[in-house]
């Protein structure tokens, strides 16, 4: 069953297996059958064990189902892929040197006539005698082409198995609804889950879809299923329609203008090394190509569909035209491409005709226009009165208005409407304020100057000119005042919400998880989602990083790199990467630059904690990069293994992967515009790995400077945590804390926090 497979893919992300059974039919005293015992053993090899309930439930399903789930887990854990790196037994360094590379380069330029003798490899490279110890390699040490692949992985060396629970159809439906209604933006994993579940479950009668971004996914699905009429109900404004059209065109749920998209693409193509003359030519050509891609072309069917949608928008022509005003330029091109003028002359499209008429004649007064007028007249009272009419837009321009008219006056006006805004938005304001008011501008490196002030919309902010008028203390006070808005609003909301509960339990891990406001990860976590900020303990003496890429792709040049950066006292940094395979505390398995056919290829780095300790290392930053031009390749998984027991490396072919020791693993989703990724930080003395995700654009890991990572860690630490929010709730509602989840009227666990709708409910506790 195709459905069962996708349901299980989703369930795994919630640390569960999906079985299509009735919960009440489970015999909790049943003896496990032989196939179930075998199935559980296969799970254990992959690092999982089953809960009591799931164990008994497994007796109720067909053996075919067990076989299907086993192969799904093998697929997710990548056990059928090639995990052989370039070097066999790579824990013992090959001792290859720059001289080896140089001599080989000369030999290949000059050839055997000049007396070079050695071995010619299948890639055509001559490896001179006395250079690389060829016996140690699975491929060409000179060009990084692998010749040998492996078809096995190690199993069962892990000591920390992950528990899987039972999910029935009812549970899956709950997950579906929770994703649909989530009022915080879905991260990449949740988006993929929702798309899969939309194939299985019908849309509820009157769906309350929390986020605009989620609406896009749903409309896409409905249009695919030829239910454009259904989709119409979800489109409330012309902007919704534009957002959908642009989503289909670019894959982005935000309406990013073409120019910004092209700039971002150009940034990913490394042409900075070219001289001015060449760079201008290449730049112009790339721009032309990208512009071509963004050209609007629609078939008749699409044109008619959109014409019908716009004709049915539940707004007056004036309101609709005003709604279109901020993206006027894009609309003009859309209207032409969709031949809306033509449709508006047909019978039944009178509303569309009216809308276009008002839009073209600019026969509407825009609210923004009135605000601009008031601003020009320097009329604070009028401006604030207008802003209060539109709380969402007030929030958007809050900081600039504070700089313009002084923070006391503006915040007083804003407080009047603050409770009308989703608390998520107030929270993101607080997070954005420090950045906007330039509090720690200097300590933040360029890649993280990209902020997402409002739900998902990534923006690079130009510092406001008025900032110069204020002293640092004044600016700090402004940021603090904005931060307090959220807290006081939440306290009011909690206090106003009656509850029957007397006691509360908060799992300690929740004090490390920042409340998500849309800056959640862009990678996909196929096995059990972890929230950013989660800390993984390291029990053994080794941490092994891995990178596997190229699955399902034909043999080609595709250079991805795994690397790490070790911060040493006082200000030194050691790097372990393709250009430096060994350094203090770290060993790399060799640089692969081409992939073999279909099965992918792997790189590893082994970190030795005793060696790092001895060297006084503080942090190790885990990174992966695309060296081939373009963004990171899809089908790339990256993560780390850790076990209390030693983990084997094959002398035969270097394979060092064992799914049971994988502590965390993520897949890079398609459409990710970033070029490199920091995917974890090891705090050496605490023996903890912090899961975080930070894109960076530099070609090598030098882009992930210690300062930048420390700034990010600090940012993570400064954010309001889920646990702190629950403390505010406990205080406002007079709840008593207890130490065990079982003893509490209200229990908040890590599993609870994985469910976006539940966390949202807390954020919206008073129903706004």
**Nearer to Zn ion by C-beta: 123 or 738?**
123
Answer yes or no: are the C-beta atoms of 767 and 494 closer than 8 Å: no
**Nearer to Zn ion by C-beta: 126 or 195?**
126
**Shortest distance, position 643 Cβ to Zn ion, whole Å:** 35
x-marked contacts with Zn ion along 102-141 as a string, rule CB under 5 A: ---------------------x-x--------------x-
**Nearer to Zn ion by C-beta: 128 or 723?**
128
**Nearer to Zn ion by C-beta: 140 or 562?**
140
SS (H, E, C) 653-669: CCCCCCHHHEEEEEEEC
- The contacts found for 303-307 with CB under 8 angstroms, 24 or more apart, are 303/338, 303/339, 303/340, 303/343, 304/343, 305/223, 305/228, 306/241, 306/245, 306/338, 306/340, 307/338, 307/340, 307/343, 307/344, 307/349, 307/352
**Nearer to Zn ion by C-beta: 101 or 396?**
101
**Shortest distance, position 654 Cβ to Zn ion, whole Å:** 17
**Nearer to Zn ion by C-beta: 84 or 166?**
84
Count of helix runs (H) and strand runs (E) in the chain? 29, 26
- What is the footprint of Zn ion within residues 516-555 (CB under 5 A)? none
Q: Over the range 593-611, which residues count as b (16 or more CB within 10 Å of their CB) and which as e?
A: bbbbeebbbbbbbbbbbeb
Answer yes or no: are the C-beta atoms of 139 and 170 closer than 8 Å: no
**Nearer to Zn ion by C-beta: 105 or 644?**
105
**Nearer to Zn ion by C-beta: 48 or 137?**
137
x-marked contacts with Zn ion along 309-328 as a string, rule CB under 5 A: --------------------
Answer yes or no: are the C-beta atoms of 30 and 14 closer than 8 Å: no
**Nearer to Zn ion by C-beta: 123 or 698?**
123
Residue nearest to Zn ion (CB): 140
**Shortest distance, position 123 Cβ to Zn ion, whole Å:** 3
For residue 157, give every residue at least 6 positions away whose Cβ sits within 8 Å of its Cβ, in sequence order, or none.
Answer: 643, 645, 646, 647, 648, 658, 660, 661
Answer yes or no: are the C-beta atoms of 640 and 659 closer than 8 Å: no
**Shortest distance, position 136 Cβ to Zn ion, whole Å:** 15
Rounded Cα–Cα distance for residues 213 and 259 (Å): 21
Q: Record the tokens describing residue 84, joined without a space.
A: 């052989």
**Nearer to Zn ion by C-beta: 131 or 157?**
131
Q: Do strands 48-50 and 162-167 pair parallel, antiparallel, or not at all (unpaired)? A: parallel
Reduced to 3 states (helix: H, G, I; strand: E, B; else coil), residue 719 is coil
**Shortest distance, position 141 Cβ to Zn ion, whole Å:** 8
| DSSP notation for 378-447 | T-HHHHHHHHHH-HHHHHHTHHHHHHHH-HHHHHHHHHHHHTTS-HHHHHHHHHHHHHHTTSSGGGS-GG
**Nearer to Zn ion by C-beta: 123 or 448?**
123
**Shortest distance, position 107 Cβ to Zn ion, whole Å:** 12
> What is the size of the binding site for Zn ion (CB under 5 A)?
5
Instruction: Tell me which stretch binds Zn ion (CB under 5 A): 2-10, 142-150, 334-342, 732-740.
Output: 142-150
CA 164 to chain centre: 24
- What is the footprint of Zn ion within residues 648-677 (CB under 5 A)? none
Which residue from 193, 159, 157, 160 is spatially nearest to 177, judged by alpha carbons? Answer: 193
**Nearer to Zn ion by C-beta: 123 or 495?**
123
- What is the footprint of Zn ion within residues 567-606 (CB under 5 A)? none
**Shortest distance, position 126 Cβ to Zn ion, whole Å:** 9
Instruction: Scan for tokens 């919630």, then name that residue.
Output: 14
Task: Please report whether residue 143 would count as binding Zn ion according to CB under 5 A.
Answer: yes
- What is the footprint of Zn ion within residues 459-518 (CB under 5 A)? none
**Shortest distance, position 750 Cβ to Zn ion, whole Å:** 48
Quick one: DSSP state of residue 594? Answer: E
For residue 457, give every residue at least 6 positions away whose Cβ sits within 8 Å of its Cβ, in sequence order, or none.
Answer: 254
**Shortest distance, position 86 Cβ to Zn ion, whole Å:** 11
**Shortest distance, position 101 Cβ to Zn ion, whole Å:** 11
Q: Record the tokens describing residue 108, joined without a space.
A: 């290949």
For residue 381, give every residue at least 6 positions away whose Cβ sits within 8 Å of its Cβ, in sequence order, or none.
Answer: none
Answer yes or no: are the C-beta atoms of 667 and 526 closer than 8 Å: yes
**Shortest distance, position 593 Cβ to Zn ion, whole Å:** 9
**Shortest distance, position 127 Cβ to Zn ion, whole Å:** 8
**Shortest distance, position 597 Cβ to Zn ion, whole Å:** 17
**Nearer to Zn ion by C-beta: 29 or 135?**
135
Q: Which residues bind Zn ion (CB under 5 A)?
A: 123, 125, 140, 142-143
């Amino acid at each position: 069953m195709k459905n069962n497979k996708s349901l299980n893919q989703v369930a795994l992300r919630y640390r569960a297996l999906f079985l299509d059974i009735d919960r009440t039919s489970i015999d909790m005293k049943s003896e496990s059958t032989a196939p179930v015992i075998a199935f559980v053993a296969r799970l254990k090899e992959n690092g999982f064990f089953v809960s009591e309930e799931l164990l008994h439930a497994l007796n109720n399903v067909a053996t075919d189902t067990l076989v299907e789930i086993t192969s799904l887990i093998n697929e997710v854990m990548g056990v059928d892929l090639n995990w052989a790196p370039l070097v066999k037994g790579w824990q013992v360094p090959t001792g290859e040197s720059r001289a080896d590379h140089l001599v080989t380069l000369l030999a290949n330029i000059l050839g055997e006539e000049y007396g070079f003798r050695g071995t010619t490899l299948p890639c055509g490279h001559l490896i001179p005698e006395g250079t690389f110890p060829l016996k140690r390699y699975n491929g060409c040490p000179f060009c990084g082409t692998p010749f040998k692949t492996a078809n096995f992985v190690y199993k069962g060396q892990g000591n920390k198995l992950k528990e899987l629970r039972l999910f029935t159809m009812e549970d899956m439906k709950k997950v579906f609804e929770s994703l649909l209604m989530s009022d915080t933006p879905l991260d990449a994993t949740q988006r993929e889950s929702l798309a899969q579940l939309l194939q299985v479950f019908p849309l509820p009668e009157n769906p309350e879809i929390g986020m605009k971004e989620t609406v896009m996914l749903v409309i896409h699905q409905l249009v695919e299923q030829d239910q454009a009429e259904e989709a119409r109900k979800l489109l409330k404004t012309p902007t919704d329609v534009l957002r959908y059209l642009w989503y289909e065109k670019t894959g982005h749920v935000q309406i990013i203008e073409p120019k910004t998209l092209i700039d971002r693409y150009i940034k990913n193509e490394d042409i900075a090394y070219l001289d001015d003359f060449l760079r201008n030519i290449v730049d112009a050509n790339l721009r032309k190509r990208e512009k071509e891609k963004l050209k609007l072309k629609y078939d008749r069917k699409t044109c008619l569909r959109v014409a019908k949608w716009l004709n049915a928008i539940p707004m007056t022509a004036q309101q609709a035209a005003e709604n279109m005003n901020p993206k006027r330029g894009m609309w003009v091109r859309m209207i032409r491409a969709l031949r809306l003028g033509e449709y508006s002359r047909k019978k039944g499209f009178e509303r569309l005709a009216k809308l276009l008429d008002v839009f073209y004649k600019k026969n509407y007064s825009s609210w923004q226009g009135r605000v601009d007028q008031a601003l020009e007249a320097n009329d604070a009272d009028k401006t604030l009165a207008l802003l209060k009419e539109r709380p969402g837009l007030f929030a958007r321009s809050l900081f600039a208005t504070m700089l313009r008219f002084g923070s006391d006056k503006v915040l007083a006006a804003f407080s009047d409407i603050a409770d009308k805004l989703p608390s998520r938005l107030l929270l993101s304001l607080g997070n954005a304020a420090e950045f906007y008011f330039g509090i720690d501008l200097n300590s933040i490196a360029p890649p993280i100057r990209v902020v997402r002030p409002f739900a998902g919309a990534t923006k690079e902010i130009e510092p406001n000119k008025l900032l110069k008028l204020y002293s640092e203390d004044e600016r700090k006070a402004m940021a603090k005042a904005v931060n307090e808005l959220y807290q006081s609003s939440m306290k009011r909301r909690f206090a106003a919400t009656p509850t029957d509960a007397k006691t509360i339990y908060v799992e300690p891990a929740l004090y490390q998880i920042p409340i998500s406001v849309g800056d959640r990860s862009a990678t996909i976590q196929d096995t059990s989602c972890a929230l950013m900020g989660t800390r993984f303990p390291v029990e053994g003496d080794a941490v092994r990083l891995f990178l596997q890429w190229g699955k399902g792709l034909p043999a080609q040049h595709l250079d991805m790199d795994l690397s790490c950066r070790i911060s040493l006292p006082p200000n030194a940094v050691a790097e372990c990467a393709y250009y430096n395979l060994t350094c203090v505390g770290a060993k790399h398995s060799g640089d692969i630059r081409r992939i073999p056919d279909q099965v992918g290829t792997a790189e590893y780095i082994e970190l030795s904690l005793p060696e790092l300790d001895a060297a006084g290392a503080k942090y190790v930053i885990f990174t992966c990069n695309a060296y081939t031009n373009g963004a990171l390749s899809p089908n790339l998984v990256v993560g780390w293994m850790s076990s209390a027991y030693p983990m084997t490396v094959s002398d035969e072919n270097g394979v060092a992967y064992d799914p049971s020791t994988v502590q965390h693993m993520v897949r890079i989703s398609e459409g990710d515009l970033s070029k490199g990724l920091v995917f974890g930080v090891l705090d050496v003395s605490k023996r903890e790995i912090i899961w975080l995700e930070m894109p960076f654009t530099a070609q090598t890991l030098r882009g992930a400077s210690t300062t930048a990572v420390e700034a990010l860690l600090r940012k993570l630490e400064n954010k309001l945590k889920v646990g702190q929010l629950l403390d505010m709730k406990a205080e406002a509602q007079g709840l008593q804390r207890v130490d065990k989840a079982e003893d509490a009227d209200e229990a908040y666990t890590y599993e609870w926090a994985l469910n976006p709708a539940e966390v949202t409910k807390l954020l919206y506790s008073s129903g706004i």
